[in-house]
Amino acid sequence: MALAPVSDDALRETVSLYLANGNNQQKTADALGLARSTVQNRLTQAARKGLLPPAVPTMPGFEVTRLQTGPRGTTIEQRPEKGEVFEIPEGHRIKGVSAFIDPDGRLRGQWVKTREGEPSPERTAEIIQAAFEKFEPKAPNVLPPRDSDSDRLTTYIFCDWHVGLFAYGKETGGPDWDLSIARQTLSAAVKETVETSPPSGRAIILGLGDLLHADNGRNQTERSGNVLDVDTRYSKCLETVCDLMAESSELIASKHNHVEAVFKPGNHDENSTVGIRQALRMYWRQNERVTVDTSPDAFYWRRFGVNLIGGTHGDKAKIPDLPMIMANRRKEDWGATTTRHIHTGHIHHDTLREIGGVHVYSHRAPVAQDAYHAWHGYLSGRSMKSYTYHVDKGARGHSEVEIS
Ligand SMILES: [Mn+2]
C-alpha cells in the first residue's frame, strides 16, 4: 500500500534526527516513535526532493529511485528519467490499464493497452442499414455461361429413365436398381453429359418418354396392362423425376444460354409426362432463358439452320416411317434443310439407320434391366447422350456417358 505523502517539514525533521543519530535509521525511528520502514520511506522521499545532505548530484537524465542505508553506508539508486508522455495512437482507444507496484505498494509503472477504435454497436447497425438501403432481395438465379458458341445447339437425349423401376440383380443377372440408386446414378450421368458437351449457345432437353416406369398407382402399363416391378409409391416416383428434371435443367442452363425443354410421352408415362411438363414450366416461369414446350404432340420437330431435328418415343410410329412423317409434318423445314436427324428411345438399344438421307436413331436407356426384359434375353448397354449441331455445317459430334 502506498504511504500517504509526508510534508516537507516532517521530512526535514526526519532528516535532521537521522543525521543527529549518526545515520542510524532505527534510532531515528525510536526518536520519532515510528517504524523503521516509515523512516526509510521518508528518507527516500527526502532524497528525491533534495532534502538529504550531503546532496548527491543526480546525473543528467537520471532520477533518484531508491535510497537504502546499510552497515556500509547509504546507497542511492538512480535510474534514467521516464520517457515522454504516452499518447494514444490515432484511431485507437484505451482498452484497459494495469499497474505494477513496488513492495511498498507504490506505483512503479503502468501498462496502457489500446486497440483500434471500433464503432459502437449502434453505429455498426447504422452502417449496415445504410449499405443495404437500396438492396432488393431476389430468388437465386442461374447465371448465363460466359462463353457459349451461338452457332451451335446441343440436344440432350433424356429417354427411358424408367424412374421407379425395381430390379433384383440376382434375378436379372445385372445390377440392382431402385428409386434411390436411380436418383444418384441419373443425376451423376446428367452432370457428366453436361460437362462433356460443348458450350453451345442453345440446348434442347429432349425428353423422349418413359422417364417414369409406372404411370399410375396400379403399377401396370396403361394400354397393355403388363404388371411392372415398381419401387415404392407413384407419388414418390413422380416427385423424384420432377426433382431430377429441375436439377438437370439448372445444370444445362448454367452451361447454355438458351434452353428449350421438351417432353414427349412414352408407353409407360403417357399421363405423367403432362405433369412433368407443367412442373418444369412452373419451375422456370420467371426465367426467359429457359422455355418449356407444353405441346401434346407426340412428335418434336426443330429447325436449326441447315439441320432439321426430330424426336418421338418410338413405340407407335415405326422407325422406317419416321423420315416420311418428318417430310409431311414439316414440308417447309424439310425443303430448307440439308441434314436431318430423328431421335427415338423405347427399345433401350442403340441403332442408327439412314433412310432417305435421314439419320434415325434409337438410343440406349441409362437404367438397369428389369426381370421382364432380362427373361426375354434382351442385351444392351446403358448410357446417356447429347448431340451437337452447327447452324451451317450440320452435325458436330456427340457426347456419350456410359454407365458401367
Ligand atoms: Mn418405352
Interval between CA 369 and ligand 1 midpoint (Å): 13
Per-residue pLDDT averaged across 178-201, rounded? 96
What does the alpha-carbon distance between residue 400 and residue 404 come to, in Å, rounded to a whole number?
12
**pLDDT category, 48, cuts 50, 70, 90?**
confident
pLDDT digits (tens, 9 = 90+) for 236-245: 999 999 999 9
Interval between CA 198 and ligand 1 midpoint (Å): 29
286's CB contacts (< 8 A; 6+ apart) are 139
What does the alpha-carbon distance between residue 390 and residue 147 come to, in Å, rounded to a whole number?
16
pLDDT the model gives residue 76? 75
Interval between CA 194 and ligand 1 midpoint (Å): 24
pLDDT digits (tens, 9 = 90+) for 304-334: 999 999 999 999 999 999 999 999 999 999 9
Interval between CA 160 and ligand 1 midpoint (Å): 6
Per-residue pLDDT averaged across 184-192, rounded? 97
Between 285 and 67, the higher pLDDT residue: 285
pLDDT the model gives residue 241? 96
Interval between CA 374 and ligand 1 midpoint (Å): 15
Cell of 140: 437465386
What does the alpha-carbon distance between residue 212 and residue 372 come to, in Å, rounded to a whole number?
16
pLDDT the model gives residue 122? 85
pLDDT at 355 over 60: yes
Interval between CA 349 and ligand 1 midpoint (Å): 11
316's CB contacts (< 8 A; 6+ apart) are 298
Interval between CA 351 and ligand 1 midpoint (Å): 15
Interval between CA 267 and ligand 1 midpoint (Å): 5
* Average pLDDT of the residues of the chain: 88
**pLDDT category, 1, cuts 50, 70, 90?**
very low
Q: Most distant CA pair in the chain: distance in Å?
A: 137
Domain 149-402: CATH architecture, name and number where available: 4-Layer Sandwich (3.60)
Per-residue pLDDT averaged across 354-362, rounded? 97
pLDDT the model gives residue 229? 81
Where exactly are the structural domains of the chain?
8-80, 149-402
Contact by Cβ (8 Å): 391, 306? yes
pLDDT at 121 over 90: no
Beta strands 383-390 and 358-362: pairing type? unpaired
Per-residue pLDDT averaged across 293-306, rounded? 97
Contact by Cβ (8 Å): 158, 206? yes
Per-residue pLDDT averaged across 332-349, rounded? 96
pLDDT the model gives residue 152? 96
Interval between CA 347 and ligand 1 midpoint (Å): 6
Interval between CA 367 and ligand 1 midpoint (Å): 12
Q: Which residues surround ligand 1, an ion (CB under 5 A)?
A: 210, 266-267, 346
Interval between CA 317 and ligand 1 midpoint (Å): 12
pLDDT the model gives residue 70? 67
Per-residue pLDDT averaged across 73-86, rounded? 74
Residue 111 β-bridge partners: 98
Interval between CA 365 and ligand 1 midpoint (Å): 10
Interval between CA 380 and ligand 1 midpoint (Å): 14
| For the ranges 92-96, 97-101, 220-224, 399-403, the one whose mean pLDDT is highest | 399-403
Place of cell 438458351: 258
Per-residue pLDDT averaged across 35-60, rounded? 78
pLDDT the model gives residue 3? 54
Beta strands 300-304 and 290-293: pairing type? unpaired
**pLDDT category, 97, cuts 50, 70, 90?**
confident
Per-residue pLDDT averaged across 57-69, rounded? 71
Cell of 172: 436379372
pLDDT the model gives residue 85? 75
Beta strands 73-80 and 62-70: pairing type? antiparallel
Provide the 8-state DSSP code for 3. Answer: P
pTM above 0.75, yes or no: no
Topology of domain 8-80, CATH: Arc Repressor Mutant, subunit A (1.10.10)
Between 90 and 189, the higher pLDDT residue: 189
pLDDT at 55 over 70: no
Residue 352 β-bridge partners: 361
Cell of 101: 507496484
Interval between CA 361 and ligand 1 midpoint (Å): 14
Interval between CA 207 and ligand 1 midpoint (Å): 12
Per-residue pLDDT averaged across 46-74, rounded? 71
Interval between CA 378 and ligand 1 midpoint (Å): 14
pLDDT digits (tens, 9 = 90+) for 375-403: 888 888 999 999 999 999 999 999 999 99
